[in-house]
Structure formats: C-alpha cells, structure tokens
C-alpha cells in the first residue's frame, strides 16, 4: 500500500555542519518524485532521512518532521528498523549478496526481519517480487544460481525485487541507474513507471532526461557555495520544472547552464 510523505521544517546535520536546511515538501502516494541538483546540494542526504538511514552515521541528526500518512518517523518510540521495512531503499551500485542464490537474495530482507515463512509462501513471494521487478522471465529457470551471476541491470532489478519482497509503502532510489548501461537503464526506468501503481517512489538522479522520463514531480535543490546548506529551490510537476520553471536557478540548471 502506497503512503504519502509530508516533510516539515527539516534540517539535516553532520555533526555541526548543516547539510540541508528547512525542507518542506509533500509527496503524494502512487507517484514518482525526482530529486535533482548539483553535486553536494544534499539530495542523497535528504533522501536518507526519509527512512532514518541518515542517523546511522555518528553525529548525524535531523530536526523537524517526516510524516508517513501522518505518522512522524522521528516520533518518540519509533523503531528505525521498522521504519526501514515501510520505506525501502535501492542504492547506486547493485548490491545483491554475492554468495546467495537469486531466490535467497529476494528473501533476504524478509528473513532479516525474522519473519517465519512456509516454503510455498516463500515460493509465491519470490515469484511475485521477481515479476514485480520485471525479472521473473529472465531468471525463473535459475533461481538457485548465485545473484552475482546476473548482469548489472539484472542485479539492480534483483535488488528492487528484494526491496519489494518486504512489502514497503515507499521505495527510495539513490541514482539507481548510474552504474547501468543504457538498455538496463531503460528496463529499470520502465519498472519505476510500474512501481508507482503500488508504491510511492522517490529517486535521486543526475540524469535530467531520466527525471523527465520517469517522474511526476521534480524537486530542484541547490547550494549557495561550499560549506553552505543545501536548500529546496523549487518543487513542481516535472513538465513545469523542465519547460516553465518559476525560479531562474532552476532554469539555469535544467538548461545546462550550471551544475
Ligand atoms: N558522511 C558525511 N559526513 C560529513 N559530511 C557529509 C557526509 N556525507 C555528505 N556530506 C556532506 O553533505 C553535503 C551534501 O552531500 P550529499 O552527498 O547529500 O549531496 P548530493 O546532492 O547527493 O551530491 P551528489 O550529487 O554528488 O551525490 C555535502 O557538503 C557533503 O560533503
């Protein structure tokens, strides 16, 4: 089930360094939102606050709220591990467990959460997750072979299957195609389009065409200079950001004049 995200007055720190300042943003369920902006403006940092991955670094902390269907992920007594089952994450480099089989890779997250599951239910879940990740037909005859034996694009879709298997409501993707060739990139982009029927998807990308192809809304972030915090400059429907942005900095960035 897809959920909405409301970010309120969020500041994100590494120790004393304010990396991202005062973000307010509403992300609709069943949509794809792209984060774009020059290097160092805090896209990945902000993304990682949406499933409490930021705070795993010593000294890293946030101020403000991130509400998932109205419930604050940073509220008192909220378990960050539980948060990460609701808000899954796919990383830049495909990172399947290399010695595990394809099947075991899909089930890895479910097992980490200590969920007991029968063989039949596991088989169903493996098939459903791999179908959901557009990978089933390519791997159905070699489920017991190692995940490391797949191509980069297949590995990334395997990681997406692993994320889907724990039935999250939100999927965060940090430059999920940056290590992939153009054909695999298209396969993952097609998949992102399908994922939004069931999940809220947020993707960080350096590739403007990709943001334009896959997202419904785009958030442009910027920094005033080194050591300054990243800020959200403009957040609007993707068409508007690319064709008719309100801010000059957005226009300069999307037209390739800086960044
Ligand atoms: N582990 C860390 N410790 C301290 N500062 C960090 C850490 N990670 C990132 N930063 C700083 O936080 C700021 C934002 O970095 P972040 O990686 O979120 O930007 P980004 O927009 O995702 O960049 P890129 O597009 O290059 O990936 C930068 O100034 C960066 O140097």
Compute, in angstroms, the gap from residue 135 CA to the centroid of ligand 1. Answer: 32
Could you tell me if 104 and 97 are in contact, meaning their C-beta atoms sit under 8 angstroms apart? yes
How large a percentage of the chain has pLDDT more than 70?
99
Whether 237 shows a pLDDT value over 80: the answer reads yes
Relative to the CA of 47, which ligand 1 atom is closest?
18
CA distance 27 to 8: 12
pLDDT band at 116 (very low <50, low <70, confident <90, very high): confident
Relative to the CA of 175, which ligand 1 atom is closest?
27
Whether 83 shows a pLDDT value over 70: the answer reads yes
Whose CA is closest to atom 6 on ligand 1?
Answer: 14
Whose CA is closest to atom 28 on ligand 1?
Answer: 40
pLDDT band at 252 (very low <50, low <70, confident <90, very high): very high
Structure tokens at 7: 């970010």
* pTM exceeds cut of 0.90: yes
CA distance 72 to 66: 5
What class is the 5-96+170-254 domain? Answer: alpha beta
Whether 259 shows a pLDDT value over 70: the answer reads no
Compute, in angstroms, the gap from residue 22 CA to the centroid of ligand 1. Answer: 16
**What value does the mean pLDDT take over residues 53-72?**
96
Task: Report residues whose beta carbon is within 6 angstroms of any ligand 1 atom.
Answer: 14, 17, 19, 37, 39-45, 57, 230
- The pLDDT of residue 112 is 80
Q: What are phi and psi of 113, to 5 degrees?
A: -80, 10
- The pLDDT of residue 73 is 97
Whose CA is closest to atom 24 on ligand 1?
Answer: 39
Structure tokens at 99: 């010695």
Compute, in angstroms, the gap from residue 45 CA to the centroid of ligand 1. Answer: 6
Provide DSSP, the chain. ----EEEEEEEEEETTEEEEEEEEEEE-SS-EEEEE-STTSSHHHHHHHTTT-GGGSTTEEEEEEEEETTEETTSTT--HHHHHHHEEEE-SS----TTSBHHHHHHHHHHHTT----HHHHHHHHHHHHHHTT-HHHHTT-TTSBGGGS-HHHHHHHHHHHHHHT--SEEEEESTTTTS-HHHHHHHHHHHHHHTTTSEEEEE-S-HHHHHHH-SEEEEEEESSTTSPEEEEEEEEHHHHHHS-SSHHHHHHHTTS--
The alpha carbons of the chain give a radius of gyration, in whole angstroms, of: 18
Question: For the chain, first and last CA: distance in Å?
Answer: 36
Show me where the domains of the chain are located.
5-96+170-254
- The pLDDT of residue 124 is 95
- The pLDDT of residue 16 is 96
Q: Backbone dihedral region of 225: left (phi > 0), alpha (psi from -120 to 50 degrees) or beta?
A: left
pLDDT band at 230 (very low <50, low <70, confident <90, very high): very high
Give 108's contacts (C-beta < 8 A, 6+ positions apart): 97, 100, 162
Task: Give tens-digit pLDDT for 141-179.
Answer: 999 999 999 999 999 999 999 999 999 999 999 999 988
Report how far Cα 10 is from the mean position of its chain's Cα atoms. 18
């Amino acid at each position: 089930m897809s959920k909405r995200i409301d970010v309120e007055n969020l500041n994100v720190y590494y120790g004393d360094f304010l990396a991202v300042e005062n973000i307010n943003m509403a992300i609709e369920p069943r949509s794809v939102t792209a984060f774009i902006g020059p290097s160092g403006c805090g896209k990945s940092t902000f993304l990682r606050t949406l499933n409490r991955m930021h705070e795993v670094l010593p000294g890293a902390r946030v101020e403000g709220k991130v509400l998932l269907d109205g419930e604050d992920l940073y509220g008192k007594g909220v378990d960050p591990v539980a948060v990460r089952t609701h808000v899954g994450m796919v990383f830049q480099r495909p990172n399947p467990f290399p010695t595990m089989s394809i099947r075991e890779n899909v089930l890895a997250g479910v097992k980490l959460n200590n969920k007991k599951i029968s063989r039949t239910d596991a088989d169903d879940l493996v098939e459903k997750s791999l179908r959901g990740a557009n990978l089933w037909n390519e791997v159905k005859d070699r489920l017991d072979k190692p995940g490391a034996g797949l191509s980069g694009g297949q590995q990334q879709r395997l990681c997406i299957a692993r994320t889907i298997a724990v039935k999250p409501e939100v999927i965060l993707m940090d430059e999920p195609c940056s290590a992939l060739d153009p054909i695999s990139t298209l396969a993952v982009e097609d998949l992102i389009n399908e994922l939004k029927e069931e999940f809220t998807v947020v993707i960080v990308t350096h590739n403007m065409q990709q943001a334009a192809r896959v997202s419904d809304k785009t958030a442009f972030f910027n920094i005033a200079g080194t050591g300054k915090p990243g800020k959200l400059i403009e957040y609007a429907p993707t068409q508007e950001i690319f064709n008719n942005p309100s801010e000059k900095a957005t226009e300069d960035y999307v037209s390739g004049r800086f960044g």
